[in-house]
Every structure is written in C-alpha cells, then in structure tokens.
Amino acid sequence: MITEQPTRRFVPIAALLVAVGLTTLSVGAQTTMQTALTAAYAKYKDLKEGKNADYIPALAAVDPNLFGIAIVTADGKVVTAGDVKTEVSIQSISKVFTMARVIQDDGPGAIERTIGVDATGMRFNSIVSVEFAKKIGGGPEMNPLVNPGAITATSMVQGASADEVWAKIIGTYNDFAGRGLSVMQDVYKSESDTNQRNQAIGMLMHAYEYIKSDPARATDLYTRQCSVGVNAKDLATMAATLAFGGRNPVTGKQAIATENVPYVLAVMATAGLYDDSGKWLYHTGLPAKSGVGGGIIAVSPGKFGIAVVSPPLDDAGNSVRAQRAIRDISAALNGNPYGAGVPRPVATSGR
Ligand code: DON
C-alpha cells in the first residue's frame, strides 16, 4: 500500500511544467548522454579483465562479451549503447528491491532493528559476520544486501504461502522495471543445486532468531529472486525509479513511497558493492548495487538511473566493465550527488 506522498503539493507545478514541455529532456542533454554512453562502450568493449562467476554453474556459461549500457531519465527517455536486450540473472541486485518491499510494508525501522544497516566489511556470504555481529553486542550489525541480511529480508515479506510471498516480490520488481519479469529456470535450478552455503546461512539466521519463519522457504524464495532475468534497460529503469522518488519514469507507476527511497539508497551507498563499497562511493558518490550475474545499477538522485550488464567480475564480485563505464559516464554527466554540479574529471589512479 503506497502512503500519501509528501511531494503531492508539488503536483500542480509539475503538471504545469509537463504542460509547457519543460520536463522533457532537451535534445542537447540527450545528445550529451548518448555521447557519454557511446564513448564508454567503445572504451571498454574490448577490455578482457575479470572472470564470470562460476560457483553457480549456469553463470559460468554466460557469454563474457555481453556488454550493454542503459540510462533512464526523469521523463522516461532511455538512452543505450551495446546489447540492452539480452537477459542475465539479477542476482544480488534483487536484494535492493526486496529490501524496498519490506521498508514499504513494515517501515524503515523494521529493517534497522531486525537486520541492521551497517557494513560488515566481510564477503557477501560471510558466516563469520553473523557470529561477529552476535559477539559485539548481540544486536543487528549487518544489512539487507549481504546474504544473511538478504535471506532474512526475504523472510520478512509477508504472505500466507510461498506463492503469496513470491507474488509480492515479483510484483515489486515488475513495478520497478515497468514490465513482467520471469525467473530464468536454468539459473534457478543451477543455483538451487549448489546453494548449500545459503541454506546453512538461512538455518543459522533462524537459529539466532533473525528469521522467524521456515528458513528453507526463505532461502528458496531468495534463490528464486536471484534468478529473475533482466536486461540493462530493465535494470536502468529500476535504478531510475529510485532516482525519481520511487515513481517509475517510464510507466508513471509509484513503486514505493517517495519518503522510503532515501533509506533504500542509504543502504546501497553503505554496502552496494560489498568490500569495495567505500572505494566505489569515494570515486562516484553514487548509491549502487552489483550482482554476480554481471549487472550493476547506480542512482544519481534526481538526475538518472544507470545500469550496465557485463558478466566478468573482479575479486570483490563486481562487474569490471560496469564499474568503469558507470564511473566515466557519471563523471561526464556530473552525476555525483556530492559534486554539487561541479564538473569532476575522472581520476587517473585507482580503479
Ligand atoms: O547468494 C548468492 O550466492 C547469489 N544468488 C547472489 C550473490 C551475488 O550476486 C553477490 N554479488 N555480487
């Protein structure tokens, strides 16, 4: 249920702007975006660094040359470069939208109290981080973007049956993407056959009473959500929905309440690129999220949502080409929210 928006009082002004065509992206701005995307695509197309994830066998078989970039603007314009149609599995990017569902239904306090909103400083599927969180204060010292927190967040989506919970999860993703998404069955099967570690994490989270319902069901739903197929355009639309107050700029549908968006973005900024989240934020200032399928989404609040799909990953599990391309494009478009509109050159050192 979407609550009434605090931004409602601005609607007459927005309506007026639409009426006189002022919210439409200017041709110049669209050309600047296209130039930035085309340049990044050309620069990184032949980059061979990184390696597909292979701990889920189906991911190892994905074409490593797949490379697509999409950006979605306030008025729903989609600017692209490369292959933005081929689907990959959404993987950990799904965690953002399940978290958004829980925040929308239960309020931001539920995530903060039950899971936490702090970086763990450990790998995304760390079990030690759970033990550590218990030891240092007994309280939640995790976040919904690492597996223990993510499986717990999935368990918090309410529903009388697994089907009901799934309908809520996929319905939320569809609202953000602006179309009906489906599970890639080959990935779901491959991940279900090899997700013993996540099953163990689910059990542990149940033993420690973070998960109050059946942990096997939560882990299975989590595995299913990770297997949803998306292309670069879907992901950019999902990112843009977060960039523009929870309203999908392509369909006009309010996916989550505007007041809940800052909580989602804050966790993305804190933990979206796992061990490299600080480094990423340092260079881009953009809340972002990666997935081992090769996608990364990033949000420039009020400006654009961007996504890149390219399967080869670095040691931290983040797509190599996606990180580089988003960094360049955002610099060219002054996307850094901390930059206050001042043009920033792309740093020549570091990743
Ligand atoms: O839990 C897993 O292993 C995967 N389904 C998702 C992991 C993932 O995408 C981590 N990402 N960077």
CA–CA dist 148, 146 (Å, integer): 6
Q: For residue 343, is pLDDT > 50?
A: yes
pTM of the model: 0.90
CA–CA dist 292, 90 (Å, integer): 8
The per-residue pLDDT for range 239-298, each reduced to its tens digit, is 999 999 999 999 999 999 999 999 999 999 999 998 899 999 999 999 999 999 999 999
The per-residue pLDDT for range 71-129, each reduced to its tens digit, is 999 999 999 999 999 999 999 999 999 999 999 999 999 999 999 999 988 888 999 88
Q: For residue 29, is pLDDT > 90?
A: no
Residue 319 CA to ligand 1 centre (angstroms): 12
For atom 7 of ligand 1, the residue with the nearest CA is 92
Contact 296, 306 (CB under 8 A): no
Burial class (CB within 10 angstroms; exposed 0-12, middle 13-18, buried 19+) of 114: buried
Report residues whose beta carbon is within 6 angstroms of any ligand 1 atom: 91-92, 124-125, 147, 191, 198, 226, 290-292, 317
Q: For residue 7, is pLDDT > 80?
A: no
Most distant CA pair in the chain: distance in Å? 59
List the Cα angle 295/298/302 in 5-degree steps. 150
Q: If we measure between CA atoms, which residue out of 198, 260, 253 comes closest to residue 223? A: 198
